[in-house]
Amino acid sequence: MKNRKLIPGAFFLGFILIILPAVTILADVGDWQTFTNKSSIRGLIEFNQKAWCATNGGVAVFSSDGSEALSMTNTEGLSSNDVSHVAVDHNGNIWFGFSNGIIDIYNPANQSIKVIDDFVRNQIKSIVPMGDSVFIGLNIGVSLFLLDKMEVKETYKNLGQFPVETGVKAIAVDYPYIWVGTPNGVARADLRQSNLMAPQSWENFTANQGLPSQGITALFAKDSTILAGTNFGTARFDHGNWVYASLGLGNSGVHQFFRKKGKIYAVIDAGVYEYDPPVSWKLIIGGFGRATSMAVDSSGIFWIGTQTRGVVRYNPKTDSMKTILPNGPGGNNFMALVVDQNNNLWTGSAYSYGWGFGKFDGQTWTNFTRKNTGIPSNDVDASAVDLSNHVWLGTWGRGVYLVTGDSPVKYFNASNGYLVGIRTDTRYAVVTDIKVEKTGTVWMLNYFAYNQNVLVAMTPDSQWVYFSTSELGLKSTKVTCLLIDHRGWKWIGTEDRGISVFTDNGTPLDKSDDQIKGDLTTVDGLESNSIAAIAEDDFGTIWIGTKEGLDFYLDGKVQPRYGLITNDINCITIDPRNNKWIGTSSGLSMLDPDGYRWTHYTTDNSPIAGNNVHGVAFNPRTGELFVGTTEGLSRFQTPYIAPRNDLSQLRVYPNPYLIGSGTNRLVVDGLARASSVTIFTAAGRLVKSFPEDQVLGARISWDGRDEKGEWVASGIYIVVAATADGKSNAAKFAIVRK
């Protein structure tokens, strides 16, 4: 078990470095924040007039009026964002179970979290507190956890005649009996027995004793009323046998039973039903999608979790219903990230589980889906921003979307003749990458185009021009990624035949001066002919991400670069400091400007949302790195802000700077490339210096300590910034030592 203090807001990552040759396992200081969709409610409880929801993207907590009271992800201290169960013990602590076998015990009073890692090799299936104990259903049986000792006492793996380590789906306790639902039926034991680990302590019930199905989905046990929900209806326990009790529910599987003020409710896909003993059920509320869970608060408000629509708040007194969904992205799988000129993040979603595309302004998400905007497809897998700040989005099957301010989305696809489909479906136009040239021409890849025109360009005056595989020197129509280098050359990666390089010589409408510059394959040294990403750094080196490793092209030669976290590359982005950020199926790797030192980020050593990284975008104006994974989006604050052209915008804040006011630091902003920074007293005494190699971008921060590590005194200070070519600027600021 581990103890951890909940950290409100962003998760702070400290200097924890494990250095191997040329490898940094954990990263520098930075602030992380995770953004997730929380529309899928896996479990729900009511505690202290709040609804606590276990979701696909962390924890969501709602006040009695329906407002969001708390949102928790891994950057707020949770062990994972994939929360499968929630329960509350008699001490008022909230238990969260995760799909990876971890359990977090959250204390709302002091916002602390205790981590139970005894079950990491198993799956949490049920959490049922009972007095000083908690029964935990696992894929191998039932564990008894003691609250006073905070430890597992024993695990019951032999549930009678069922196979050893039978998985548990549901648990219910009506003292002195514990009832356990499994895929093989129901097991019952008397808690007064001394050895529940012995199989003879358990009694089994199957279809032979009247269960409609042996696949148990939910259990209820209270005041001698015992109900079992199965895959094919509900049964009631009656004198040693199970009898039909599913009138009104039909053969629906029950997700949860719940009792409030003597009334028993069942949650099935269609909604919430109230029990009318001995066999009947009547619908209380439905019509809001597939229900998953429920709770009722002290004022009689029903809270109902749904599979895809968030939480439903139902007031039976007024017969009013409200669907509540926390603001967030439309899903948890991200790719095709890009930042526009107004610092908005635009993101697509993986084509196998697409949710459309989203816009994030730093505070609020706006999502565009087939359902709410009528876009033809939710499978958005490419993005770019043109010189007019218009957003281009490529889809898997429906061409390109163009977003221009508040105007309706425009479509360019096979139906209106701008693009072409694949051979088996000529209207199925797939766009795998989009890039914008310095001249303003937008270039896009038309994957597997049946007419061979795989490269498409739209000029600033809206003229469209098409390039065939023969014109490009391509040996495949399965084009995957595009780079436009500093010369304007087009590097086109394919799924199976490496890279072809082509130039239109800056005249896309005039093909007479076009040139095929050559190609690169495994024959030339590539790790694989399956190309996932191509990027150019500040030195003109071309970085090539394949599905079997990383290569770079320099001085006419392909060379491998080893040290990645894994060789299965998905994307590459270069930041203003010339760091290479490489998204892989096993995490995020960063290669320093010198091309030597690696830094790796995974869910094991950082608060990154997930390990399967499909999109990375960098905002050079703020230093923010956005990382899109299949389990959520991460925002990571870095110091790599694009340097200014000169020092004319030098500024210092806050001014005055209060030393001793928490974690507040003095910021020196507006620095130029290759700057050094020195801080002096008003009398000219050196206080602190930051040489060029410590200035990583346009901004540095200072903690108020001098070169000896001691706090400086109150007074007037001067900061001097200087560039390598002798240019300098200065700013004055005050320090108040508290």
pLDDT tens-digit readout, 59-71: 999 999 999 999 9
pLDDT at 717: 96
* Portion of the chain with pLDDT greater than 70, in percent: 95
- 592: pLDDT strictly greater than 60: yes
Residues 6+ apart with CB under 8 A from 103: 95, 96, 97, 115, 116, 119, 124, 127, 136
pLDDT digits (tens, 9 = 90+) for 26-77: 434 458 999 999 999 999 999 999 999 999 999 999 999 999 999 999 999 9
| pLDDT, tens only, 513-546 | 999 999 999 999 999 999 999 999 999 999 999 9
Q: Give the separation between CA 268 and CA 88, rounded to whole angstroms.
A: 23
Q: One fold for both 31-117+293-328 and 390-602+614-620? A: yes
Per-residue confidence (pLDDT) for residue 27, from 0 to 100 = 38
Helices (H), 129-279: none
User: For all residues of the chain together, what is the average pLDDT?
Assistant: 93
pLDDT digits (tens, 9 = 90+) for 86-126: 999 999 999 999 989 999 999 999 999 999 999 998 999 99
Three-state DSSP at 91 gives: coil
Mean pLDDT of 504-521: 97
Q: Say how far apart CA 447 and CA 431 lie, in whole Å.
A: 6
Per-residue pLDDT at 661: 64
Give DSSP secondary structure letters for 53-70: EEETTEEEEEETTS-EEE
| Separation CA 603–CA 630 (nearest Å) | 13
Q: List, for residues 139-169, the tens digit of each pLDDT value.
A: 999 999 999 999 999 999 999 999 999 999 9
pLDDT cut 90: percent of the chain above it: 89
Q: How far is Cα 631 from Cα 623, in angstroms, rounded to an integer? A: 23
What is the secondary structure of 123-150 as a DSSP string? -EEEEEEETTEEEEEETTEEEEEETTTT
- Cα dihedral: 460, 465, 466, 472 (round 10): -70
Length of the chain: 738
Tokens of 359: 């816009």
DSSP secondary structure string, 215-282? -EEEEEEETTEEEEEETTEEEEEETTEEEE--BTTTTPPPSEEEEETTEEEEEETTEEEEEETTTEEE
Q: What are phi and psi of 352, to 5 degrees?
A: -80, -25
Phi, psi dihedral angles at 473 (to 5 degrees):
75, 20
Mean pLDDT of 630-635: 97
Give the whole-angstrom CA distance, residue 599 versus residue 591: 7
Q: Which fold has domain 31-117+293-328?
A: Methylamine Dehydrogenase; Chain H (2.130.10)
* Partners of residue 258 on adjacent β-strands: 265
Q: Which pLDDT score, from 0 to 100, does residue 370 have?
A: 94
pLDDT in tens, 242-263: 999 999 999 999 999 999 999 9
CA distance 172 to 302: 22
Predicted local confidence at residue 696, as pLDDT = 87
Alpha carbons 382 and 589: distance in angstroms, whole number: 21
- Distance between CA 231 and CA 292 in Å, rounded? 15
Q: What is the pLDDT of residue 373?
A: 92
Which pTM was predicted?
A: 0.89
Tell me the C-alpha distance between 521 and 289, whole Å. 50
Structure confidence by residue, pLDDT tens digits, 669-709: 999 988 999 999 998 899 999 999 898 888 899 999 999 99
Residue 1 reports pLDDT greater than 90? no
**How is domain 390-602+614-620 classified at the CATH fold level?**
Methylamine Dehydrogenase; Chain H (2.130.10)
pLDDT attached to residue 351: 63
Q: Are 54 and 44 in contact (CB under 8 A)?
A: yes
Q: What is the largest CA-CA distance in the chain?
A: 94
- Say how far apart CA 660 and CA 43 lie, in whole Å: 43
| Predicted confidence (pLDDT) per residue in 484-495, tens digit | 999 999 999 999
Residue entry with tokens 């030393």: 659
- Taking the C-alpha atoms of residue 658 and residue 665, their distance in angstroms, rounded to an integer, is 9
Q: What is the DSSP letter of 579?
A: P
For 651-737, CATH gives: 2.60.40.3110
Determine contact, residues 362/343, Cβ cutoff 8 Å.
Answer: yes
- Other Cβ atoms less than 10 A from the Cβ of 98: the count is 21
Q: Around Cβ 31, how many Cβ atoms within 10 Å? A: 16
Q: How far, in Å, CA of 212 to CA of 253, rounded?
A: 11
Note the pLDDT of residue 4.
40
Per-residue pLDDT, averaged over 621-646, amounts to 94
Pairwise CA distance, residues 333 & 629, whole Å: 6
Report the candidate in 341, 486, 633 with the shortest Cα–Cα distance to residue 625. 633
DSSP per residue, 439-493:
TS-EEEEEET-TTS--EEEE-TT--EEEE-HHHHT-S-S-EEEEEE-TT-PEEEE
Kindly list the strands in the beta sheet with 241-244, ordered across the sheet, starting from the edge strand earlier in the chain: 216-222, 225-230, 233-238, 241-244
pLDDT-derived band at 663, boundaries 50, 70, 90: low
Beta-sheet strands, E only, within 64-212: 68-72, 83-88, 94-98, 103-107, 112-116, 124-130, 133-138, 141-146, 151-156, 170-174, 177-182, 185-190, 202-205
b/e code 424-441 from CB counts within 10 Å (16+ = b): eeeebbbbbbbbbbeeeb
Alpha carbons 699 and 720: distance in angstroms, whole number: 13
Domain ranges of the chain: 31-117+293-328, 390-602+614-620, 651-737
Measured distance between the N- and C-terminal CA atoms of the chain, rounded to whole angstroms: 39
Lowest mean pLDDT among 309-318, 418-427, 645-654: 645-654
| 22 pLDDT higher than 80 | no
447-477 confidence digits (pLDDT tens): 999 999 999 999 999 999 999 999 999 999 9
Residue pair 416/382 in contact (Cβ under 8 Å)? The answer is: no
